[in-house]
Amino acid sequence: MSRIGKAIITIPSGVEVKLDGTTVHVKGAKGQLTQEIDTCVTMSIDGNVISFDRESDHKDHRAKHGLMRSLVNNMIIGVSEGFKTRQE
């Protein structure tokens, strides 16, 4: 099972997430982003928590489960914190 896909996302204050069919709209202080969610993955928003489920245990569905969760999480980070460069 996808451990990444099972993890919930907590929406920080100042970020607005809307689900319109299979399209996710994320709006925050740094801008707004849009992403299509694959039909084998369902996204649910409950208060300030986002969770993802998949329709089966097929290999492709497991991969997309984690991918869709990561994309939405990165969108939320992008509109709230923005892009950062690390010096190593």
Summarised one tens digit per residue, pLDDT across range 11-66 is: 999 999 999 999 999 999 999 999 999 999 999 999 999 999 999 999 999 999 99
pLDDT of residue 79: 96
pTM for the whole structure: 0.89
Greater confidence (79 vs 85) lies with 79
pLDDT score at 88 = 77
DSSP state of 8: -
Q: What number is the average pLDDT over the span 70-81?
A: 95
